[in-house]
Chain A
Amino acid sequence: MPSLKDIKTQINSVGSTKKITSAMKMVAASKLRRSQEKAEAARPYSSRLEEMLSSLASSAASGEGIIKLLTGTGNDQNYIVVPVSADRGLCGGFNSSINRETFKLVKSLEGNGKKVQLMPVGKKSRDFFNRVMKDQIIESFVDLNVSSTGYESALNISNKLQELYFEGKFDKCVLVFNKFKSAISQEVTQQQLIPLDVSNSEKEEEKENSSNAIYDYEPDEETILKDLLPKNVSIQIFKVLLESDAGEQGARMAAMDNATRNAGEMIDSLTLKYNRTRQAFITKELIEIISGAESI
């Protein structure tokens, strides 16, 4: 049976853990608000870019060069998968669900005879895939700090991807990331980045065609499209980074909230145990005194 002192130390140590987790929760909550604001601020740009793109997409039947970002290479043998995780842990299942999902995706693609390469973003997925599929990693990006560096960080990733694409290193690029649904829930999502998935923008296109499709283009449709497509890749990545950042803070907040609550419960039960032990100790001493007095 543990002594009173042992229990007291345990209570103290759980108490200080509780303090840390509740502080982390508070930090995550304030960071979450900032990240959310950033993600919202970036929304007008990406939605308008998508609108523009969808009204232009029809003019690109097939083509060479940059248009390939829209039409694809005509192959689907080589894949590149980009898992977007956080740089830091202590945020519940945030990172492990990304890694698990990516791992599953890679295995199923390989099962279909495709060649898959990886480009992890964030320390947690880099470290994970360094352990399990080291030779498939072609590049990794860590310490992005998207909420402070902003668009630049997305630009780096996008430039690298496009460079590899035009060298013919891959045909399709898929992002795996945590979509920010609400402060307490994130959803692991796969998004095809290259070639551009126009399935949902096609609908918008129809809408636009019926209402107001007669635009003058300056210089001409193709030139604009050539400018627009690479930018769209960067913007999509930027959007994903921001969503993932907000999701990370949300996940950490929820995880730390749970941890704080668990620590509280543990302290309660330990305090109960402490009091019981103390009472048992007193009772025992009393019995000893009484039986001692009786025997005299």
Chain B
Amino acid sequence: MATISFDLVSPENLIFNDDVGTIIVPGKDGDLGILPGHSQVMSSLRPGRVMIYSEDKNLVKSFFVSGGFAEINPEKCIVLAESVVELNSLDKSSIEKEIEELGGKDSKESEEQLSIAKAKLEAITVSFYDKI
């Protein structure tokens, strides 16, 4: 099976760069599964999980991104994300605390942070996509 080159880039550095089998990214209108030979797509992302799989469909790495963009062509996929954290470095209790704190505030900014925090919580609790 062929591979597709995948770059995960945050403003501060290049986080992931390798040839992989499959990637799932959280597109704005729904998750996108990207395999080698995908058609050319440019999509903005919602907060959610970026899952990276090897050629034999084993999960290699999973990240949480708070939004960004993906540029996909048949040989290459680039994800530009504003903040990227590795999924298993997230801590459930601290996120719950964050949500609680943000829930009290009432501004546009905290609303945005709240939705990101909620997405984070969802990302670590759900387990679909762990196996494909």
Contact = CB atoms under 8 A, between A and B. Distances in A.
Interface of A: 38, 41-42, 44-46, 48-49, 51-52, 55-56, 150-151, 154, 212, 214-219, 223-224, 227-228, 231, 234-235, 238
Given A45-B80, A224-B69, A231-B82, A219 B28 contact: yes
B76 to A, nearest CB: 11
A215 B12 contact: no
B40 A214 contact: yes
B40 A44 contact: no
B28 to A, nearest CB: 5
Interface of B: 7, 9-14, 27-29, 32, 39-44, 67, 69, 71, 73, 78, 80, 82
A231 B80 CA distance: 11
Contacts of A231: 82
A218 B82 contact: no
7 contacts: A45-B9, A48-B9, A151-B11, A218-B41, A224-B43, A227-B44, A227-B67
Nearest to B81: A45
Contacts, number: 77
Contacts of B13: 41-42
Contacts of A219: 28-29, 43-44
Given A218-B42, A218-B43, A44 B12 contact: no
Interface of B is mostly: strand
Given A42-B11, A44-B7, A48-B78, A212 B73 contact: yes
Contacts of B14: 41, 44-45
Given A41-B12, A228-B69, A49 B41 contact: no
Contact of B40 (A51, A151, A216): A216
B123 to A, nearest CB: 20
Nearest to A214: B40
Nearest to B78: A48
Contacts of A212: 40, 73
Contacts of B80: 45, 48-49, 52
B44 A38 contact: no
Contacts of B10: 45, 151
Nearest to A223: B44
